[in-house]
DNA sequence: TTGATAAATTATACCGGTACAATTATAATT
DNA sequence: AATTATAATTGTACCGGTATAATTTATCAA
């Protein structure tokens, strides 16, 4: 769990726990920087780094001349897109299960080659799953993993959280992802899998995940059930 | 334009321009940190800050021990949700126009009171627009602005970019926003406005915008045309 | 040629300092 | 009481330093 956590990470985590544990709400004031610095016995810049991390995560916001405040929104039950590597929603997990429809090694199609920037020779794992949230059909998921990065997958792993396996098992570090989506009408096949009707609304979501060194290793296509899926996204002004 | 730009902002902008101007692509290497430091004649930490900003914007990624690389995805025509304050898509703007359906001062409904954290007495501007992209119906937009923050709006302002007016005209600084969305079927009224059919797919998108001091000032509800709207979202692993 | 080992490169963590800008609290003035 | 000027608070910009971890390159041995 704590492979050798950095100071600022540990502090950020501690402050987040403090916020959650004490049930602080939007706008509540945290101790001032200098006070935090004394408490954790680190330099000012380390505290600043920790707070910056929390700010990016949408946990706090800082106001110059004023203080450090808690940032929280009220709505529950939304999938947080900011941290959708395995659908963790802050601290309380969603109850997700999966039915594996297909698992095989194959050569990439044109589409997969483009999105993963690989040649036709390079092999990929293909995983097709039906995912459930609280027992309801949430989405159809088709994923392609570079075999050179993810050398082994089996039914067992794939029926649980793949990203958890990638991080804990393979010690892969995910750096960033590109995500594309649009709305459309379900085909007959899709509708059948989601227990909906042909032509019903669906959200088509594509992701390309990259390691910290920039290498793309996973291309995934999802089709969401319009009745079950609702999303949250926090956006910070960058300046 | 350059109210008094900070060093790291100016440098970040310069590097971004360099990337665009020289048409660098995904994975291209930028000069090493020490070289940039010499070029811009600033301290290491200022360069670091500039690069951090570019990294958050999804322009570059950095690899320890290796270097600084350009991050670009290929797809065009997607609305970038990361910088959707007025729908700027990087450097090339979308061709957006608006038809104003309603503009008035009113007292907030329960829904608006909740989302803006205000009382029934506080007045808000209500703006309803139909927005077009390249002449096609893109979305219906209903926005509520706190009158205490946005004291004046007129037909002229509202028919153009409201956020541009808020930033340039009122010098408001937007800090962050909470965004919620889900998929559904269009009502008759919505379908009429978007020139679609009742029951066609639609994306329902809600935003709450906050100033840098944390105060919520704008609550907006959008309904997107499924045929026109496609979205892009870059997500960085935070650690 | 291969594969292991060492060295150089490069970004990041962390320190502690000064200066400054935005806000808030206090005092002075009307 | 309300306004205005002043001071204190507080987060941010920027500096330049040491140490370290990840990667790449160079070196050496088999």
Q: Answer for B5: CB within 7 Å of strand D.
A: no
* pLDDT recorded at residue A87: 46
Which residues, given as ranges, of chain B have pLDDT below 50? Answer: 87-91
For residue range A4-22, list pLDDT tens digits in order. Answer: 899 999 999 999 999 999 9
Q: Does A212 touch chain B (CB under 8 A)?
A: yes
Mean pLDDT score of chain B, rounded to an integer?
93
Q: Select from A71, A183, A235 the Cβ nearest to the Cβ of B82.
A: A235
Q: Which domains does chain B have, with CATH numbers?
A: 7-70 (1.10.10.10), 79-232 (3.40.1410.10)
Give the closest-approach CA distance of A210 to chain B in angstroms: 10
Out of A174, A180, A183, closest to residue B201 by CB:
A183
From chain A, the residues in CB contact with B235 under 8 A are: 81-84, 176-177, 179
* CB spacing of A61 vs B176 below 8 angstroms: yes
**pLDDT confidence of residue A191:** 98
Nucleotide nearest the Cα atom of A6 (by C1')? C13
Q: What is the pLDDT of residue B16?
A: 97
Whole-number distance in Å between A31 CA and D9 C1': 13
Per-residue pLDDT of A34-90, as tens digits, reads 999 999 999 999 999 999 999 999 999 999 999 999 999 889 889 999 876 654 444
Name the residue in chain B with its Cα closest to that of A215. B27
What pLDDT does B17 receive? Answer: 97
Q: What is the pLDDT of residue B74?
A: 81
B54 CB and strand C closer than 7 A: no
A212 beta carbon to strand D: under 7 Å: yes
Per-residue pLDDT at A94: 72
Mean pLDDT value of segment A99-109: 97
User: Are the CB atoms for B90 and B80 separated by under 8 Å?
Assistant: yes
């Amino acid at each position: 769990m704590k492979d050798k956590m950095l100071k600022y990470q540990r502090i950020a985590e501690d402050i987040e726990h403090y916020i959650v544990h004490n049930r602080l709400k939007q706008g509540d004031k945290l101790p001032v920087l200098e006070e935090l610095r004394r408490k954790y016995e680190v330099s000012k810049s380390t505290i600043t780094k920790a707070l910056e991390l929390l700010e990016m995560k949408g946990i706090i916001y800082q106001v110059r001349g004023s203080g450090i405040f808690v940032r929280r929104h009220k709505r529950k039950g939304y999938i947080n897109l900011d941290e959708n590597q395995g659908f963790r929603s802050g601290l309380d997990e969603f109850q997700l299960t999966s039915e594996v429809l297909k698992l095989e090694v194959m050569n990439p199609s044109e589409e997969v080659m483009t999105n993963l920037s690989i040649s036709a020779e390079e092999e990929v794992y293909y995983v097709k799953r039906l995912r459930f949230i609280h027992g309801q059909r949430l989405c159809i998921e088709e994923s392609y993993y570079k075999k050179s990065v993810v050398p082994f997958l089996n039914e067992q792993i794939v029926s649980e959280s793949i990203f958890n396996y990638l991080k804990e098992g393979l010690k892969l570090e995910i750096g960033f992802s590109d995500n594309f989506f649009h709305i459309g009408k379900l085909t007959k096949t899709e509708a059948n899998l989601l227990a909906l009707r042909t032509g019903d609304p669906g959200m088509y979501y594509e992701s390309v995940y990259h390691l910290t060194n920039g290498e793309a290793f996973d291309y995934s296509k999802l089709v969401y059930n319009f009745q079950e899926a609702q999303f949250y996204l926090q956006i910070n002004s960058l300046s």
